Amino acid sequence: MDAVSFVVNITTQAQATVLNYRSKIIEDDLAEVFFLVNFAIICGPISFVGIVANVINIVIFVRQGFQDTVNISFFSLAVSDLLSLVALLWVSVCFVPPFRFSDIPFVSTDVQYLAGGWPHVVFARITGWVTAFVTIERCLCIALPLKVKTIITGRRVVMCIAVIVLFVIASVAPAYYTSRLAWVYFPQRNRTLIGLIFTPDRNEVEEVAFAINSVFSPLGSFGAVVISTVILVVKLNEKTKWRQQSVADKDKNANISTKEQKVVKMVVGISTIFIVSFTPAAIIFSAMAMEPEFRVTGYYANVNIVVVSISFILEAVNASVNIIVYYKMSTRYRVAFLALFSINTSETVFVS
């Protein structure tokens, strides 16, 4: 299990022995500081800004329409980013000390496990696979320009994204099967509060869930984005050189090249940000797969905690900055953005 498990582990009495067993490479107190600062202080503001940015993206893509299939993908990406940030914002609120230790009748760090941590993971996974889908779609547009419109239709794009959503939800379903909220007595607080409990078969079920959700799904989407981005850049360079050497119909080719290059560069920009942001998480998942002691219940738990908290910040950044890429690289988006806020512009709109 990844970072969301630690949210429960540090707050439940059942994990007391695990806390004593942690690696001292990073002391417990220092790990707690990293965790609280990164989640409660840094992730919150980034998530709030990202929520606003993605609402703007959604409004603009809806206004532009979905005749162009890439708009469907960008719209889906904005929705998944928005929901992942909403969940992460709730996680941040649950770790703010005045709220966490107030008189609320529940343990906030337990409740957010099911209401914030896992929902964030779900939508972050969806973002990864949608990003992979977008890069693969652009690869086909470059490699098969004459056939791509018959291969990639709006209906098929919607179906592919629906399959992605269903697959990711199914992959995290075991977490909700093995975890639930109930009234629990907490001796350290001398109170009975709503907290998290687990089913007896949790360990067995989560071994299978870990392989799917923390290895195959995140590393699969990450690998697909990396490979597709490399292919996309290589194919674009080949097409650009070919067009530069072509003499016939020079002006028309230049126009098509400009439109394609803008969309492709925008996709490459989005996928590059994703690759940079997700690399620490990919390393963590690989380490947990190869060394079980690196998980949050293992000997190197504190190292895992610190690195995972940093990776969550990067995930929040990845989900928040696409608006900058769209604005800088798409004239059509920029015009729509300025029009949304009633800012006059004389830019032309024919460029994608």
For the stretch 206-213, contacts whose Cβ atoms lie closer than 8 Å and that sit 24 or more positions apart, written own/partner, are 206/1, 206/174, 206/175, 206/178, 208/174, 209/171, 209/172, 209/174, 209/175, 210/1, 210/288, 211/289, 212/171, 213/121, 213/125, 213/171, 213/172, 213/175
Q: For residue 32, give every residue at least 6 positions away whose Cβ sits within 8 Å of its Cβ, in sequence order, or none.
A: 10
Q: What is the pLDDT of residue 245?
A: 60
Instruction: Indicate if the alpha-carbon torsion angle 303, 1, 294, 222 is positive or negative.
Output: negative
Q: What is the pLDDT of residue 304?
A: 75
Q: What is the pLDDT of residue 215?
A: 78
Q: What is the pLDDT of residue 161?
A: 95
Q: What would the pLDDT profile of 152-211 be if each residue is shown by its tens digit?
A: 888 999 999 999 999 999 888 888 888 888 898 888 888 888 988 888 887 777 777 777
Q: What is the pLDDT of residue 295?
A: 66
Q: What is the pLDDT of residue 117?
A: 84
Residues of the chain under the 50 pLDDT cut: 1-23, 247-248, 251-256, 348-352
Q: What is the pLDDT of residue 23?
A: 41
Q: What is the pLDDT of residue 6?
A: 41
Q: What is the pLDDT of residue 282?
A: 82
Q: What is the pLDDT of residue 254?
A: 46
